[in-house]
């Protein structure tokens, strides 16, 4: 028996215990933030790998994976809108900041309404 063949079961156990552990909070919020950062930074090719991690950490739940990636894309749109508002009011950061925060509050309110209606989205 070679050294590599003795290590293979140990490595499989580590991969199974660490990578595929049920971590719903990290698989939803963490992946959403990572998708947002990846797309804003221009490394969009990381999104499929992040979606796989979301799927693994949410125990194979496709809806949770879709929500995680969707939250990242919504966050990317929110960031892009916030950055593009700044040149519209030169010298005044308060006005674009208020519009940006108001947009976040509207999204939060829409999520709150959807949850009380029993929707599975956001």
3-state SS string for 54-89: HHHHCCCCHHHHHHHHHHHHHHHHHHHHHHHHHHHC
Range of the domain at 91: 22-116
Question: Structural domain tally of the chain?
Answer: 1
Q: Cα–Cα distance between 69 and 72 in angstroms, integer? A: 5
70 in a structural domain? yes
Q: What is the pLDDT of residue 37?
A: 94
Task: Report d(CA 108, CA 115) in Å as an integer.
Answer: 11
In a domain, 11, yes or no: no
pTM of the model: 0.68
Give me the average pLDDT of each 10-residue run along the chain (122 residues). Answer: 53 53 81 93 94 88 90 90 85 85 85 70 48
Residue 76 is assigned to a structural domain of this protein: yes
């Amino acid at each position: 028996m070679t050294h590599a063949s003795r290590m293979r079961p140990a490595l499989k156990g580590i991969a199974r215990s660490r990578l595929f552990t049920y971590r719903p909070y990290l698989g939803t919020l963490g992946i959403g933030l990572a998708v947002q950062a990846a797309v804003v930074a221009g490394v969009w090719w990381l999104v499929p790998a992040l979606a796989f991690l979301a799927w693994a950490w949410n125990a194979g739940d496709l809806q949770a994976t879709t929500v995680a990636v969707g939250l990242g894309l919504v966050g990317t749109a929110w960031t892009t809108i916030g950055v593009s508002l700044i040149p519209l009011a030169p010298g005044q950061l308060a006005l674009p900041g208020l519009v940006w925060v108001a947009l976040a509050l509207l999204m939060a309110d829409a999520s709150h309404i959807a949850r009380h209606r029993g929707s599975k989205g956001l």
